[in-house]
Chain A
């Protein structure tokens, strides 16, 4: 499978930096930080909505990246994908924990997402060259909206159902079917 054309970063650099991190080289972590932290903070901000929480997620992610760099296996995937998977996992954990212990009146999920994070706005920002965009376009706007709300804003099935006033079972089955259509299209 070809690397997605929307990732114009030099492949190899991140992988090399991760290997150096595994050997305890903090300057290698710093290189990753310089290259990726603004984008990572943007991703965390879309999920967590609050700047302080987004920074916490990025902070935790870098410590985890350094701690687990030895487990990164270039045979099994790209370094950048690995880094963002850690960031997303950490962000989602904070998001779900926050919800459980939320004391403020506005749960994060109900906080207004920036218009920039609306499914169709995100669609428009997707690189024309990306296979994902071409395949998302084969779905109806409503169905791809469900997938995008989950990935971009970190909404759960229940939250998506509430937001779009759809039955929970419908949301679940539409997302599953959308994933299978996407898989068919992406190959």
Chain B
């Protein structure tokens, strides 16, 4: 391959090998991932190890996946194709995976995003406190709603007096005849409840009334018909979601 790789030090070769073996953890792993982006010769060394060790992956006994695995993947990517693209051209029919099971299953995909977003949400929450009227308006809990691409799309704040509000952090393209519906889910057995419907991304109070509200509760925005979901359950693609965290 490139002569640059041959110039790589034995340390870098061994480090690349350990990375591919999965032996680096925590900070070491992060550092290697960073280097992978920056250092072509290191990236080449990693690619060589991967290619050689691919022979080992080829020895794994194939297992037929469960019948519903593909539909779970489809549900996971349905939320990706967001109505934010240019010119409002009709999107390829976003399989409205209206089955609640699909909707729920797609949440698992977001787990990684939630971890990745955890630090961001802390930083963001800290920033937001500064912007708010400090005296009385400090929220009790904050949920940062992330898009599938891990961008913070909105934040939900809950206050001691029971008020809950949603503040958008970026514009969301809403096609004609559609609206953004906000949902919360505190108990899988009960299912998600609608707590708001807005025609475009704007600050809005959420109607939780007597619904439970706690730490780790899910909030989510989906794209629905202008008059709201016809079924009372989310039917459209997920725009963003996140769970509440208690303020320190």
Contacts and interface: CB of A to CB of B under 8 A. Distances in A.
Interface of A: 1, 3-4, 6-7, 24, 26, 29-30, 33, 37-39, 41-43, 45-46, 51, 54-56, 58-60, 62-63, 66-67, 76-78, 80-81, 84-85, 88, 90, 92-93, 96-97, 116, 122, 125-127, 130-133, 147-148, 150-152, 154, 156-157, 175-176, 179-180, 182-183, 186
Chain B interface extent, by class: 35 or more
B74 interface: yes
Given A41-B63, A78-B51, A147-B21, A29 B69 contact: no
B13 A175 contact: no
Contact of B74 (A26, A56, A132): A26
Interface stretch (B76-84, B162-170, B189-197, B198-206): B76-84
A85 to B, nearest CB: 6
B25 A43 contact: no
A130 B55 contact: yes
Contacts, number: 154
Interface stretch (B42-50, B173-181, B211-219, B238-246): B42-50
A179 B54 contact: no
Contacts of A150: 21-23
Nearest to A149: B21
B241 to A, nearest CB: 14
Interface of B: 1, 10, 13-14, 17-18, 20-23, 25, 43, 47-48, 50-66, 69-70, 72-74, 76-77, 80-81, 92, 108-109, 112, 115, 148-149
B56 A7 contact: no
Contacts of A147: 21
A56 B68 CA distance: 12
B25 A96 contact: yes
A94 to B, nearest CB: 9
B91 to A, nearest CB: 9
B73 A183 contact: no
Given A1-B48, A63-B80, A130-B55, A43 B17 contact: no
A85 B59 CA distance: 16
A62 B80 CA distance: 12
A146 to B, nearest CB: 9
B56 A42 contact: no
B21 to A, nearest CB: 4
A59 B54 contact: no
A37 to B, nearest CB: 5
Contacts of A1: 1, 48, 51
A37 B62 CA distance: 8
